[in-house]
């Protein structure tokens, strides 16, 4: 055992005077061998540095070989350091199995505090062993306890427990405003997806008039009696989102007065050329009045009445 | 060919050992020399090597004793 922990260092000095051994005799060299060209000796490793400084002044070439077990031998000869090292290794190994920090990723502020509270209620705390977190149902508890958590998972990175939280996507609130007409038009089509239709096909509408109301009827209640003695019924409505398609025919017109029927055709052509834009249907009307004829040209098209 | 083993002590100041194989230990108070199947132990004070080659070693100093183990 003692040989196994041999704490010696072997020096080989080439082309040196053997009397150099006198300089290092106080360091107790052992196993000294000499031949024509070199001197070899072993010395305790604690004298390695001092002996190196001395022998380098004697020989141009010095080879120092330490035992591969020199560090072990050093510890063997320094029991206090070895014990300290062992304690440090044990403490490090114990600390390496602990969780010092819990990091919540994916939510901020109050929601993060709620997540931490649920974790704490389920025994997920700092300064606990990592194996506790590896087998815990913390992620499941988060999904069951908090509505805003769609999915949660945990992972351990070093001494940090990372809790990954994916929030439940919140749809943007739908508008609860009525759909109103952007044109003066005659309604040609009404398709209600949500809400209550306030116009029918054929109704003339004005700009700003409600086409689809953002309410729907959920029931009725009895109101006061009418003049015939019957009870009236008042609808009970609830707010909703007005969705639908309302199309109508919008038109524009130009008119001018001519003196004779022969000028009507020329006037129609002139008016029609003055009507610019995406008008698809044209119609001409004439009205005789005292002193002349009024020629009117109307351009129209069918379009969506609601411009979002 | 290695020189034959011999020990030659001159007074109390000089010891010559021939036919050595290895200088086992060397310190100011003790020199241990391996010769064939024996070990020569030289004890004294302020021991130094005057000459050392492949055949023999000359130790000088205040020699207390020289013994063969």
pLDDT tens string A127-178: 877 777 766 677 888 888 888 888 888 888 888 888 888 888 877 777 778 8
> Domain with A121 in it: what CATH number?
3.10.20.310
Question: Does residue A251 share a domain with residue A241?
Answer: no
Which among A77, A109, A130 is the end of a domain? A77
ipTM topping 0.95: no
pLDDT band per the 50, 70, 90 thresholds, residue B1? low
Q: Structural domain of residue A138, as residue ranges?
A: 98-167
Question: Does residue A150 share a domain with residue A110?
Answer: yes
Q: What is the model's pLDDT at position A206?
A: 92
Beta-carbon contacts of A106 under 8 Å, excluding residues fewer than 6 positions away, are A164, A165, A166, A167
Question: Does residue A256 share a domain with residue A287?
Answer: yes
Residue A3 lies in a domain: no
Question: Does residue A262 share a domain with residue A220?
Answer: no
CB-nearest partner of A32 from B22, B48, B51: B22
Residues of B in contact with A30 (CB under 8 A): 24-26
Q: Which chain A residues have any C-beta within 8 angstroms of a chain B C-beta?
A: 18-19, 21-22, 25-26, 28-36, 41
Q: What is the model's pLDDT at position A4?
A: 54
Q: What is the model's pLDDT at position A216?
A: 85
Question: Does residue A210 share a domain with residue A197?
Answer: yes
Size of interface A-B (CB pairs under 8 A): 46
Task: Calculate how close chain B gets to A43, using CA atoms only, in Å.
Answer: 10
State how far the alpha carbon of B57 is from the alpha carbons of A18, A177, B37, in Å: 10, 116, 17
Residues of A in contact with B28 (CB under 8 A): 25-26
CA gyration radius, chain A = 50
Q: What is the model's pLDDT at position A5?
A: 60
Q: Do A28 and B26 touch (CB under 8 A)?
A: yes
Question: Does residue A278 share a domain with residue A239?
Answer: no
Residue A189 lies in a domain: yes
Q: What is the model's pLDDT at position B29?
A: 92
Residue A172 lies in a domain: no
pLDDT tens-digit readout, B18-53? 888 888 889 999 999 988 888 999 999 999 998 888
Q: Do A30 and B51 touch (CB under 8 A)?
A: no
Residues of A in contact with B48 (CB under 8 A): 19, 22, 25
Question: Does residue A191 share a domain with residue A151?
Answer: no
Calpha distance A267→A275 (Å, rounded): 13
CB-nearest partner of B24 from A26, A31, A36: A31
Calpha distance B56→B60 (Å, rounded): 13
Question: Does residue A58 share a domain with residue A15?
Answer: yes
> Domain with A70 in it: what CATH number?
3.30.70.260
Q: Look up residue A252 and give its two tokens.
A: 């524009």
Query: Are A86 and A145 within 8 A, CB to CB?
Result: no
Residue A20 lies in a domain: yes
Vertex A196 angle, CA A191 and A201, to 5°: 45
Which among A167, A195, A211 is the end of a domain? A167
State the total domains in chain A: 4
Q: What is the model's pLDDT at position A73?
A: 65
Question: Does residue A251 share a domain with residue A239?
Answer: no
Sort strands A160-167 and A101-105 into parallel, antiparallel or unpaired.
parallel
Q: What is the model's pLDDT at position A177?
A: 84
Residues of A in contact with B53 (CB under 8 A): 18, 34
Low-confidence ranges of chain A (pLDDT < 70): 1-6, 59-61, 66-74, 77, 134-136
Sheet order of strands, A204-205 included? A204-205, A185-194, A243-258, A292-304, A281-289
Residue A70 lies in a domain: yes
Residue A298 lies in a domain: yes
Question: Does residue A235 share a domain with residue A194?
Answer: yes
Question: Does residue A252 share a domain with residue A275?
Answer: yes
Residue A71 lies in a domain: yes
Question: Does residue A161 share a domain with residue A105?
Answer: yes
Residues of A in contact with B51 (CB under 8 A): 18
**Helix runs in chain A, H state only:** 20-23, 48-55, 70-77, 79-96, 109-121, 130-134, 138-145, 264-274
CB-nearest partner of A25 from B24, B26, B53: B26
Beta-carbon contacts of A278 under 8 Å, excluding residues fewer than 6 positions away, are A301
Q: Do B28 and A36 touch (CB under 8 A)?
A: no
Q: Do A34 and B23 touch (CB under 8 A)?
A: yes
3-state secondary structure A66-112: ECCCHHHHHHHHCHHHHHHHHHHHHHHHHHHCEECEEEEECCCHHHH
Residue A87 lies in a domain: no
């Amino acid at each position: 055992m003692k040989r196994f922990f041999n704490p010696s260092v072997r020096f080989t000095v080439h082309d040196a005077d053997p009397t150099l051994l006198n300089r290092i005799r106080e360091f107790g060299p052992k196993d000294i061998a000499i031949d024509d060209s070199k001197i070899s000796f072993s010395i305790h490793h604690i004298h390695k540095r001092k002996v190196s400084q001395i022998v380098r002044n004697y020989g141009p070439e010095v080879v120092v070989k330490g035992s591969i077990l020199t560090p072990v031998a050093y510890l063997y000869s320094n029991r206090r350091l070895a014990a300290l090292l062992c304690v440090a290794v044990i403490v490090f190994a114990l600390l390496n199995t602990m969780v010092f920090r819990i990091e919540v990723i994916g939510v901020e502020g109050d929601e993060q505090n709620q997540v931490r509270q649920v974790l704490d209620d389920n025994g997920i705390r700092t300064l606990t062993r990592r194996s506790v977190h590896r087998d815990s149902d913390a992620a499941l508890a988060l999904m069951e306890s908090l509505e805003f958590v769609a999915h949660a998972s945990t992972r351990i990175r070093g001494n940090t427990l990372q809790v990954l939280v994916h929030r439940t996507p919140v749809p943007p609130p739908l508008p609860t405003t009525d759909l109103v007409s952007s044109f003066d038009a005659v309604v040609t089509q009404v398709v209600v997806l949500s809400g209550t239709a306030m116009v029918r096909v054929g109704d003339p509408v004005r700009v700003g008039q409600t086409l689809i109301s953002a309410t729907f009827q959920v029931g009725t209640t009895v109101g006061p009696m009418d003049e015939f003695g019957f009870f009236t019924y008042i609808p009970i409505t609830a707010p909703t989102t007005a969705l639908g398609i309302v199309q109508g025919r919008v038109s524009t017109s130009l008119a001018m007065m001519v003196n004779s029927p022969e000028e009507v055709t020329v006037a129609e052509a002139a008016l029609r050329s003055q009507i610019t834009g995406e008008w698809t249907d044209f119609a001409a009307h004439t009205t005789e009045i005292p002193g002349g004829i009024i020629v009117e040209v109307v351009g129209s098209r069918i379009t969506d009445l609601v411009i979002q | 060919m290695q020189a034959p083993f011999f020990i030659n002590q001159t007074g109390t100041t000089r010891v010559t050992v021939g036919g050595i194989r290895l200088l086992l230990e060397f310190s100011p108070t003790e020199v241990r020399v391996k010769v064939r199947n024996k070990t020569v132990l030289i004890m004294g004070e302020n021991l130094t090597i005057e000459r050392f080659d492949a055949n023999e070693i000359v130790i000088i100093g205040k020699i207390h004793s020289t013994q063969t183990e």
